[in-house]
């Protein structure tokens, strides 16, 4: 199984989009998406200097644009899993069919401007905490009055909050860890971004999302989200919520992912996956020259087209890891309604409801009483439609 990952801010370099302009249609696409995002994406990706492309108002739509441009040249229909880090979630949502590319780029423009404005309200920032015991690091961050904004796995947690508190954390790091201040505009993925969350919510409320056509992992908790409405809600919420990339990588492992492609500008996520999931084959896409290797990886690890007949049913999948218990009142052949609870998944935090997202006939249970399940694992088939 193969996953395609869309990176967040931090990997961009001056001129990194330049080689992509040689591909047919790229320049026109950049002009169209520039009009939607309110940013000159072609200038930003080809001629802007390092200082200009670190402005979060400009960088966020640029990151989504780069990922989508590269994905257009891949056989994405053979890709089973997608995920994005921070603003990369917007690109991943487009690749999964939840958002149109136009909606993803537009939301990235709104998100970037709103978060930049929130950063200007008071002096805040972020710092990477490297090494140490994860639980002790989080406790140390919180005791300093800061937030664990990114839990990236592989020994990397990012603290965020007031500048004065960050300076103290750098001076007195948690046991066994070192702290490195990051050059960012403010405390992303914390309550300091509340005004940005409200602004993004107001715009997102006008979008009609589609349901994911692939396994789409959420930064909120690493689970596979199965409805477009919930994806959109999570995308808005993520502005103030921590990025749990560690849990996304655990879900990749639980799903049995054997290969990963990181879309441009690549490097950061590939490095985290390499350390956390040894043995997974990785391709990093930087320029069009890397597309051939990515296509080869998809051919060897992706879903083979035409291997199964086109299904005439919808598959209900697990959103979290745990033990599945089907509703004892439902037998195969029973009618179910959209939104009906068909079972529960027992987790350490308590039971999580599993609901049908279409009306129809429960044609087959794919998981049974007390079966251990992973995020994205099929649980039941629902065929036909009730009238």
- Same domain? For 111 and 85 the reply is yes
Same domain, 267 and 347: no
First-to-final CA distance of the chain: 37
Structural domain ending residue among the three candidates 182, 208, 228:
182
Asked if residue 343 lies in contact with residue 323, where contact means CB atoms within 8 angstroms, the answer is no
Task: Name the domain boundary from 259, 274, 301.
Answer: 301
* CATH code, domain with 317: 2.40.50.100
101/220 same-domain check: yes
Beta-ladder partners of 201: none
pTM over 0.75, yes/no: yes
* Number of domains the chain is built from: 3
Dihedral angle, C-alpha 221, 193, 269, 60, nearest 10 °? 130
Q: Based on the domain organization, do 255 and 236 belong to the same domain?
A: yes
Provide the CATH number for the domain around residue 82.
3.40.366.10
Beta-strand ranges (E) seen in the chain are 2-6, 81-84, 124-131, 147-153, 156-162, 177-182, 215-216, 259-262, 281-284, 313-317, 322-326, 335-336, 341-347, 350-355, 360-365, 371-373, 378-383
- pLDDT tens, per residue, the chain with 387 residues: 999 999 998 889 999 999 999 988 899 999 999 999 999 999 999 999 998 988 999 999 999 999 999 999 999 989 999 999 999 999 999 999 999 999 999 999 999 999 999 999 999 999 999 999 999 999 999 999 999 999 998 789 999 999 999 999 998 999 999 999 888 889 999 999 999 999 999 999 999 999 999 999 999 999 999 899 999 999 999 999 999 999 999 999 989 899 999 999 999 999 999 999 999 999 999 999 999 999 999 999 987 433 333 344 567 878 778 899 999 999 988 999 888 999 999 988 889 999 887 788 888 898 889 988 877 777 888 875 443
The answer on 370 and 225 residing in a single domain is no
**What's the domain range around 225?**
2-116+191-301
307 lies in some domain: no
Of 301, 329, 353, which residue constitutes the final position of a domain?
Answer: 301
Helix ranges (H only) for 132-209 are 134-143, 163-171, 194-204
Please list the active-site residues.
Answer: 86, 189
Q: Please tell me the distance from the alpha carbon of residue 20 to that of residue 8, in angstroms, as a whole number.
A: 19
Same domain, 200 and 92: yes
SS3 category, 207: coil
Tokens of residue 228, six digits: 């477009």
Among candidate residues 139, 125, 126, the one with its CA nearest the CA of residue 176: 139
């Amino acid at each position: 199984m193969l996953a395609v990952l869309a990176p967040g801010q931090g990997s961009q370099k001056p001129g990194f989009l330049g080689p992509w302009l040689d591909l047919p249609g790229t320049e026109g696409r950049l002009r169209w998406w520039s009009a939607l995002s309110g940013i000159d994406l072609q200038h930003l990706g080809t001629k802007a200097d390092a200082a200009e492309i670190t402005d979060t108002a400009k960088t966020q739509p640029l990151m989504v644009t780069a990922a989508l441009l590269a994905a257009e040249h891949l056989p994405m229909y053979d890709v089973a899993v997608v995920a994005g880090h921070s603003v990369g979630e917007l690109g991943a949502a487009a690749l999964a069919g939840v958002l149109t590319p136009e909606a993803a780029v537009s939301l990235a423009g709104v998100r970037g401007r709103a978060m930049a404005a929130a950063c200007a309200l008071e002096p805040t920032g972020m710092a990477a905490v490297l090494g140490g015991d994860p639980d002790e690091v989080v406790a140390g961050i919180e005791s300093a009055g800061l937030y664990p904004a990114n839990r990236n796995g592989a020994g990397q947690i990012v603290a965020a909050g007031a500048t004065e508190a960050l300076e103290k954390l750098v001076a007195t790091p948690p046991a066994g860890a070192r702290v490195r201040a990051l050059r960012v505009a403010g405390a992303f993925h914390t309550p300091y971004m509340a005004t940005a969350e409200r602004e993004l919510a107001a715009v997102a409320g006008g979008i009609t999302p589609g349901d994911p056509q692939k396994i789409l992992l959420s930064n909120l908790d690493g689970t596979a989200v199965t409805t477009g409405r919930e994806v959109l809600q999570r995308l808005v919420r993520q502005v103030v919520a921590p990025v749990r990339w560690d849990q996304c990588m655990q879900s990749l492992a639980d799903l049995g992912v054997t290969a990963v492609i990181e879309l441009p500008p690549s490097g950061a996520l590939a490095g985290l996956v390499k350390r956390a999931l040894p043995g997974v084959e990785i391709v990093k896409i930087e320029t069009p020259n890397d597309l051939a290797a990515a296509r080869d990886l998809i051919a060897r690890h992706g879903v083979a087209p035409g291997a199964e007949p086109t299904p005439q049913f919808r598959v209900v999948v697990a959103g979290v890891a745990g033990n599945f218990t089907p509703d004892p009142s439902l037998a195969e052949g029973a009618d179910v309604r959209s939104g009906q609870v068909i079972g529960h998944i027992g987790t350490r935090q308590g039971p999580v409801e599993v609901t049908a997202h279409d009306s129809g006939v429960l044609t087959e249970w794919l998981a049974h009483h007390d079966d251990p399940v992973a995020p994205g694992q099929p649980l039941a088939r629902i065929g036909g439609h009730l009238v």
